[in-house]
Amino acid sequence: MENTISLKNVSFTGQNVRIIHNVTIDIEQGKTTALVGASGCGKSTLLKLCAGLLLPTSGEVYYRGKNISTMNRQQTLEFRRESAFVFQDSALWANQTLYQCLELPLRIHHPELSPGERRGRIAEISAEVGYRRDLQIRPSALSMGEQKLIGFARALMCAPTTLFLDEWTESLDDSAANRLGTLVKRRQLDNNTIVFVSHNPGIIKSLAQHIILLVGGYAYLKLTVEQIREDKDLAELLENGIV
């Protein structure tokens, strides 16, 4: 099976601290992969390396066989159009309205759309994630949960085929978390590649097809959900501690 993302001997050092250590993993096309491990083990950093938001200190990261660090401008634009990232803190632009935050990906990647077509797409995706308040306000007027909804909507705006989700249900009530879970499941049916970080065992068991366990910045194990279900010790580890 084709790999969407491949990491080859990837290490990353930030602020003179080695965070990721010589990781070699493949993220398969059309599969949903969870990065799990104890707090501080490097999950979010590894997710950003997979997404090309961080470049490795050593090693290579490939997207569909192309080295992300050596992509030309057109290849980089295609990668950004085909992928999207939901940040743990939502990462909305504080000096822009919610509408402007949602509109920017469409302006960059689909300049052929008319203002009316952009409005229609924004209204459609906002309703899909369950946000129904005014879009002309700024992020500071929202709760953390509402900011998460807008961050998720922004990620879906250009219909990406690869999604990177960092603690994407944190700060959401059960109803909103379930709604976003349903949206992820729909994209699984469309053969999207999804990589996510979560501490929620229910989310992991519900959505993940592959699980990569990180320990101290090392990719310790890569397992399928079936393997975990068949091994009581691994199932208990996932349920009670490491996540």
The edge-to-edge listing of strands for the beta sheet with 83-86 is 83-86, 162-166, 193-197, 32-36, 210-215, 218-224
218-224 and 210-215 strand pairing: antiparallel
Enter the tokens of residue 164. Answer: 């990177």
pLDDT tens digit string along 69-78?
A: 999 999 999 9
Average pLDDT value for the chain: 91
DSSP string, the chain: --EEEEEEEEEEEETTEEEEEEEEEEEETT-EEEEE-STTSSHHHHHHHHTTSS--SEEEEEETTEEGGG--HHHHHHHHHHEEEE-TT----TTS-HHHHHHHHHHHH-TTS-HHHHHHHHHHHHHHHT--S-SSS-GGGS-HHHHHHHHHHHHHTT--SEEEEESTTTT--HHHHHHHHHHHHHHHHTT-EEEEE-S-HHHHHHH-SEEEEEETTEEEEEEEHHHHHH-HHHHHHHHHT--
- The pLDDT-based confidence of 1 (bands split at 50, 70, 90) is low
Closest listed residue to residue 107, CA positions, set 71, 80, 87, 86: 80
With a cut of 70, say whether residue 242 has pLDDT above it: no
**CA triplet 167, 169, 171: central angle to 5 degrees?**
100
pLDDT tens digit string along 80-122?
A: 999 999 999 889 999 999 999 999 999 999 999 999 999 999 9
Q: Which domains does the chain have, with CATH numbers?
A: 3-93+162-240 (3.40.50.300)
pLDDT tens digit string along 162-179?
A: 999 999 888 888 888 999
CB 216 within 8 A of CB 18: no
pLDDT of residue 39: 83
pLDDT of residue 37: 86
With a cut of 80, say whether residue 21 has pLDDT above it: yes
The residue-averaged pLDDT of 42-53 equals 96
Q: What percentage of the chain has pLDDT greater than the value 90?
A: 71
Enter the tokens of residue 205. Answer: 């068991």
CB 44 within 8 A of CB 83: no
- The model's pTM is 0.92
- The pLDDT-based confidence of 237 (bands split at 50, 70, 90) is low
Is 231 or 16 the better-scoring residue by pLDDT? 16
With a cut of 80, say whether residue 10 has pLDDT above it: yes
Closest listed residue to residue 84, CA positions, set 151, 17, 130: 151
pLDDT tens digit string along 177-230?
A: 999 999 999 999 999 999 999 888 888 888 999 999 888 888 777 888 778 777
